[in-house]
A = this chain, B = another copy of it.
Amino acid sequence: MKEFNDLLDNYTEGKTLPQEFYTNENIFSEEMNRIYFQKFNWLMVDHVTRIPNPGDYFLFNVEKESIIVIRGRDQEVRAFYNVCTHRGSRVCLEDEGSKKLLVCPYHAWSYDTEGNLKAARYMPDDFDPKQSGLRPCYIKIYEGLIFLNLTQDQPINFDDFIQPLKPMLDIHKTSKSKIALRKKYPTAANFKLVLENFSECYHCVPQHPELCSIHEKDWVYTMGGGVGTAPKKETDEYLKKIEPWVEDCKKRGLPTETYLETNEFREKGFSRYADRTPIGNGHLSQTRDGTPASTLMGTFKEFDGGLTQTAFNQFSICYFTNDFGIMFSFKPQSISETEVELIWLVDQNAKENIDYNVDDISYIWHTTTLADTRIIENNHKGLMSRSFEPGVLSKTETGITYFYNWYFNCMNISR
């Protein structure tokens, strides 16, 4: 696309993007087409325990789309576009609920929980209800996590997608966990600024004292933005220092191998990541004082103070300590609005206010995300200025450059 390549004349590797990437409506529209609604973009959106019983459903709303995720009478979870196949009304109006039949609030076309059109009055004789079921949205459940793919085309094979992330994910047994809390953070900023913010921990020391007081200082510097985002020397030192912990993990049969996206898949639009490191400072969990906030979750028999980071892509990320998990979801709403949603998971048998309470498990990341919202909004405002020029990135922001390269590739921009 010529326009984009022209814009790149102002881009220099090691600096931030030129302003127009954040202000041009055509670019935003293309980003949605070429990235968010693309076949490679399997989005982790929620956890199956949100809809335990047949007929239970919730809506996943993003940009102008609304998706119904519903458990069928056969216990299978399916997804449908929340668009009546008659004249296009939204079918479900509440964010969540439970229904035997999805009855359109306009002319009462009625769909069963499997999306089949069961009733439509007065239709022409040649009308085939089988052709007018709710339009399915691609969905996969993996270990209790619900993934959607909003392509209008064919999605990339889910098994290929999830395969390299399995080792790290499986030990946390998300299939045996449940939702403890959910919070939404509307953010008045372009989604790329939200993703950039999550791609680096350069801002962590000054802005996230809560997070930094839990993690070891050198973890924040070398690992906060992911492996390979800090200079080699410090990274090697850190990795050497945690070797005993890693060895111990191995002994206990835990996965220790970091996954970085391969070139082959990066070219297809993928941007996966997984690693596991110790929180450090002798802390066992990401809590106010580093002590556990819930019962052990997953395959763990004891606390080892590890933190697992699993990025399915730039929009869907999970963090796990030994006792809880956090699902992060970044949802573009318009060129200047993004919704960030966090869902906290605990072991399915943990009892609220006995084994855990929501304030304890959410303290670190609720505080951190609230601060990030403010930070990102100020970033958005500032770079609107005529005077804005892309600035030089620090040694610990290579995650940003990694993000840009992924982005250019998805947008099919050749540099």
**Which residues of chain A have a CB within 8 Å of any CB of chain B?**
14, 16, 37, 64-66, 81-91, 93, 103, 105-108, 120-124, 127, 132, 135, 137, 150, 152, 196, 202-203, 205-207, 221, 374-375, 378-379, 381-389, 391-396
Contacts and interface: CB of A to CB of B under 8 A. Distances in A.
Given A108-B205, A395-B123, A383 B86 contact: no
A86 B88 CA distance: 46
B105 A375 contact: yes
B122 A87 contact: no
B386 A65 contact: yes
Contact of A202 (B107, B150, B388, B396): B107
A394 B129 CA distance: 12
B207 A394 contact: no
Contacts of A103: 206
A120 B394 contact: yes
A392 B121 contact: no
A295 B135 CA distance: 53
Contact of A64 (B122, B207, B384): B384
Nearest to A80: B387
Contact of A84 (B121, B124, B382): B382
Contact of A122 (B14, B123, B395): B395
Contact of A379 (B106, B205, B381): B106
Contacts of A86: 16, 391-392, 394
Q: What are the nearest 8 A-B pairs in CB distance? A: A88-B383, A108-B206, A81-B387, A64-B384, A90-B382, A86-B391, A90-B378, A122-B394
Contact of A87 (B132, B221, B391): B391
21 contacts: A16-B86, A64-B385, A65-B385, A65-B387, A66-B381, A81-B388, A82-B382, A86-B392, A88-B379, A88-B383, A90-B381, A90-B382, A107-B202, A121-B205, A121-B394, A122-B395, A123-B392, A123-B394, A127-B392, A132-B391, A150-B386
Contact of A135 (B81, B387, B395): B387
A37 B84 contact: no
A150 B387 CA distance: 9
Contact of A392 (B83, B132, B135, B383): B132
Nearest to A196: B87
Nearest to A88: B383
Contacts of A122: 202, 221, 394-396
A256 to B, nearest CB: 27
Contacts of A387: 65, 81, 83, 135, 137, 152
A83 B132 contact: no
A124 B379 CA distance: 22
Contacts of A93: 378
A373 to B, nearest CB: 12
A383 B202 contact: no
A196 B205 CA distance: 52
Of the listed residues A14, A81, A105, A374, the one surrounded by the most CB atoms of chain B closer than 10 A to its CB is A105
A97 to B, nearest CB: 15
Contacts of A389: 85, 135
Given A120-B394, A123-B394, 13 more contacts: A81-B385, A83-B385, A86-B394, A87-B196, A87-B379, A87-B393, A89-B379, A90-B379, A93-B378, A103-B206, A106-B203, A122-B395, A137-B387
A293 B89 CA distance: 35
Nearest to A221: B122
A391 B105 contact: no
